[in-house]
Structure 1
Amino acid sequence: MNAVTEKRGGAARALALTAALFSGLALAACQSGPAGELSRIDTAQGSSENISSLTQVINANPRDPEGYNVRGSALGRGGKYPAALKDFDTAIQLKPDFYQAYSNRALIYRFMGDQASALNDYNRAIQINPSYDAAYIGRGNLYRKAGRTRDAFNDFQKAIQLDTTDARAYHNRGLIYQQQGQHNFAIEDFSTAISLAPDASEPYNGRGLSYLALNQEDNAFADFNMAIKLDSKNAEAWANQALVYERRGDKAKAAKSYREAVRLNPNYQPAKDGLSRTSAG
């Protein structure tokens, strides 16, 4: 993708999707980071070695806006946000209709907490190229975080209508369906996201929640296990696995999984509550 990959690990998870109750137990909510991407940041692409190579490319052709866009993306992946902004600014100065650079800069603004500037850049990218799916997905996540669910849904829907192959569009539309209790639609979208990004853990975790909502416990358990296999640091998946164990009456295994979720994210309340329930006595 052209947009800088979401920094899920380092960024605070911003939006709790759902907090349903099943058999008196709180369903651990699936959460996503600022831009809702499906995978952790590729820090190798933001390494000093890679930045140095990209700088050499820019030095050889300092009037090429693409070089600044690529280096800006790498800097963003490395968490060097001010430097990334500077590169995207230069890319846009050299090429005012560079819609990819606007969309990439928008994501950096999001990481930095400047949602208004992010929205302006997404709007500008879409104005320049109304068929640019990544900008709709990015803006949709911006809207979702702001609670503008209908606007978010429309943006994800637009990206899908553009025949996007970006799993984020389906994953995030699935999250909205899940919020609305439309779990069959959510499962369909999560399944499509899995087919497009089979190594991402989040769609498995999301689909597992909807399976659990439909009392398809075995399917849910399989999905939570797969989410953990793909990303052993996914605290929500550990908590959701624990919830299945708890529903089955296996408090020892539930407590073990809740404990791991708390270790990974000490502030994750569903895991803390679950550990308190299963460790009592």
Structure 2
Amino acid sequence: MSLIIGVIFSISSPLQAQIKNIELKNEAQRQIAIGRYGEAIELLNKFITANPRLADGYNLRALCYEKRTQYEFAVYDYRNALKLPSDDKSITNNLARVIQVWYDQLYLKIEGHRREIAINPDKGINYLEIGKSYKHMGQWSLAEQWYDEFLKREEASADEIIRYSEILAKNGHIEKGEKILKIYVEKYPRDHRLWSRYGYFTLWLGKTKIAIEAFQTALEIRPFFLEAQDGLDQALGKGYTYSINDTSYNARKQSVEGPPKPPVPQEYPIDRYYRILKRNSKDDATRFLLIKELSNVGRFEEALQQLDILAPAHAESPDFQNLLTSITAQRDSIYYQNIEEIKTRFADNPNDKDDLLKLTSFYNKLSMFDESIAAFTRFFELNPNDDNLEIRYRFAETAAWNKNFDLAHEQSEYLLNKEPDNLDYQLLSAQLSAWTDSDLERGKGLIDNVLAKQPKNFFALITAGLLTVALKDFDAADSFLARSREVNPDANEINTLDLRITFEKLRFEENKLFEILDRARETVA
């Protein structure tokens, strides 16, 4: 009898839970229908807790946030919904719609605060809000500039310094971040988050002892704080495990069992994950596994590229944040060590071209563009007649990445004069035209030539899109966007170009409207 009762309960309990979940979702939809979005969010919170792998819960909650104009939360939930299995094709459109609305509002917010600054340039909050807006849109360099202006005028809270440290880490300004965090851990000595961030910045600079003390302080204030615990493990070297093969055991085993059988051909995990993702680029779970495997074998740049693909949907998740922090810390530690070794050699022989290219490559990977430009400049001061075009090309690229466009243009023109048919040089010159909104027709001619010979060159397609949108040829820009998406659908540049086209279309229509109004006023006058 007890066995029968147990079986009945084992069947009825999941069924009851399922019925309750359906009731939660149905009631949430009823609340949405009558405009009671707050009540619907509370119900959907319970539904999502019980069903974290169902997309419709996130989609419905995002809709509620969107209706309440809480666009940041809406974007986060739509992205979560998009990464889960679902037949609902509207989720992609929902996400695109809310991003467009949100970004448009952020740009309007920026313009509003700019007007406030024109009235009162000493009020720090306007600079802070502009910086936060650019941070939301992932425009890290601009975000840093506006945060800097804010800090010149007001003292920041601990929360703002945490956000600022994320921006500095994105831009690779580690020394700058370490100095600021040192000031603020003294100002807020009981904030475990600041101590943890200070630990990472000092660790990335090779100041291991200070980093250990910082992580330990964070853990004393907040035991089991995962970010600090991971940092402490890295600082203590626990993240690396080495093993030695016992060859004597293998030799004994072989003498007893005879010669080993030929190994069965195996597919390495990285190759397997890449193969799976080639079939289904939306398989985020596999992409996370690929990132961990790439990190394990020291392929940090590839791992970070894969994280960039996941960022739109996962940037706020703990798994993403932990991976980003861990991989960046490991990569930076190795790169800084390589830089120090090459700098020592290069100081003894500043004419060594191989060391120059290696050193500047590591600098650029860490976004240390000023240091890279200084190394190139020093080389050409010592070798004014050197005609190595590869070095000049890397010099021009670095100057462009650092937004030193005059220097980049100077080197680009030198390269084109030497080899006018070189497609890499043509592409770089066209990119400079797109990035600076100058010589647009010349840049368009160069990029057309590149695409005639390399029709699937992704960066050439993106550049063509930027140039045509700047020339107000929106149909052509849309066409280049579509072609870019066919070549590399997961690249961040796709979203950037898409938003740029949307924004420029809106601005173009607004300008036309203003012109009509101006003509109307003139007629009335």
Distance (Å, rounded) in 2 between the aligned partners of 1:116 and 1:244: 31
Task: Give the letter for the 1:110 counterpart.
Answer: N
- Contact (CA 8 Å) 1:228, 1:238: kept in 2 or not? no
Note closer, same or farther for the CA distance 1:45–1:94 as it changes in structure 2 (3 Å cut): farther
Match of 1:140 among 382, 389, 396: 396
Q: Spell out, residue by residue over 1:155-189, the C-alpha distance to the aligned partner (whole angstroms, 9 max, x if none).
A: 11112223288755333322332323422111123
Q: Spell out, residue by residue over 1:116-147, the C-alpha distance to the aligned partner (whole angstroms, 9 max, x if none).
A: 43123212444447222232233223433454
Distance (Å, rounded) in 2 between the aligned partners of 1:222 and 1:207: 10
1:177-188 equivalent positions in 2, closer than 5 A: 177-178=433-434, 179-188=436-445
Report the 3-state secondary structure (helix = DSSP H, G, I; strand = E; otherwise coil) of the residue aligned with 1:104: helix
Note closer, same or farther for the CA distance 1:135–1:13 as it changes in structure 2 (3 Å cut): farther
Note closer, same or farther for the CA distance 1:150–1:95 as it changes in structure 2 (3 Å cut): closer
| In the alignment, structure 1 residue 206 sits paired with structure 2 residue 460 | no
Aligned to 2:412: 156
Report the 3-state secondary structure (helix = DSSP H, G, I; strand = E; otherwise coil) of the residue aligned with 2:361: helix
Aligned to 1:107: 361
- Contact (CA 8 Å) 1:177, 1:183: kept in 2 or not? yes
TM-score normalised by structure 1 residue count: 0.50
- Contact (CA 8 Å) 1:174, 1:190: kept in 2 or not? yes
Distance (Å, rounded) in 1 between the aligned partners of 2:374 and 2:505: 49
Distance (Å, rounded) in 2 between the aligned partners of 1:14 and 1:86: 27
Note closer, same or farther for the CA distance 1:92–1:242 as it changes in structure 2 (3 Å cut): closer
RMSD: 4.3
Report the 3-state secondary structure (helix = DSSP H, G, I; strand = E; otherwise coil) of the residue aligned with 1:139: helix
Distance (Å, rounded) in 1 between the aligned partners of 2:455 and 2:295: 23
Distance (Å, rounded) in 2 between the aligned partners of 1:246 and 1:150: 27
Distance (Å, rounded) in 1 between the aligned partners of 2:351 and 2:499: 50
- Contact (CA 8 Å) 1:190, 1:207: kept in 2 or not? yes
- Contact (CA 8 Å) 1:144, 1:152: kept in 2 or not? yes
**Identity, % of aligned positions:** 8
Match of 2:372 among 118, 134, 153: 118
Aligned to 2:306: none
- Contact (CA 8 Å) 2:369, 2:401: kept in 1 or not? no
Report the 3-state secondary structure (helix = DSSP H, G, I; strand = E; otherwise coil) of the residue aligned with 2:442: helix
Pairwise CA distance, 1:207: 0.7
Aligned to 1:267: none
Task: Give the letter for the 2:400 counterpart.
Answer: R
* Structure 1 unaligned regions, length at least 5: 1-11, 17-32, 35-42, 51-77, 250-281
Report the 3-state secondary structure (helix = DSSP H, G, I; strand = E; otherwise coil) of the residue aligned with 1:136: helix
- Contact (CA 8 Å) 1:205, 1:224: kept in 2 or not? yes
Pairwise CA distance, 1:226: 1.7
Q: Which moved more, 1:79-88 or 1:146-155?
A: 79-88
Distance (Å, rounded) in 2 between the aligned partners of 1:135 and 1:159: 10
Pairwise CA distance, 1:85: 2.1
Note closer, same or farther for the CA distance 1:92–1:239 as it changes in structure 2 (3 Å cut): closer
Task: Give the letter for the 1:189 counterpart.
Answer: L
Match of 1:82 among 318, 324, 336: 336
1:161-240 equivalent positions in 2, closer than 5 A: 161-163=417-419, 167-178=423-434, 179-194=436-451, 199-240=456-497
Task: Give the letter for the 1:88 counterpart.
Answer: I
- Contact (CA 8 Å) 1:199, 1:230: kept in 2 or not? yes
Distance (Å, rounded) in 1 between the aligned partners of 2:493 and 2:449: 21
- Contact (CA 8 Å) 1:224, 1:238: kept in 2 or not? no
Distance (Å, rounded) in 2 between the aligned partners of 1:166 and 1:100: 22
Pairwise CA distance, 1:197: 6.1
Distance (Å, rounded) in 2 between the aligned partners of 1:132 and 1:192: 25
Distance (Å, rounded) in 2 between the aligned partners of 1:14 and 1:192: 32
Distance (Å, rounded) in 1 between the aligned partners of 2:420 and 2:140: 25
Aligned to 1:9: none
- Contact (CA 8 Å) 2:350, 2:379: kept in 1 or not? no
Note closer, same or farther for the CA distance 1:169–1:81 as it changes in structure 2 (3 Å cut): farther
* Structure 2 unaligned regions, length at least 5: 1-137, 143-170, 173-290, 300-330, 507-525
Distance (Å, rounded) in 2 between the aligned partners of 1:188 and 1:15: 30
Distance (Å, rounded) in 2 between the aligned partners of 1:14 and 1:165: 35
- Please identify the structure whose Cα radius of gyration is greater: 2
Structure holding more helix per residue: 2
By relative contact order (CA 8 Å, sep 6+), the higher-ranking structure is: 1
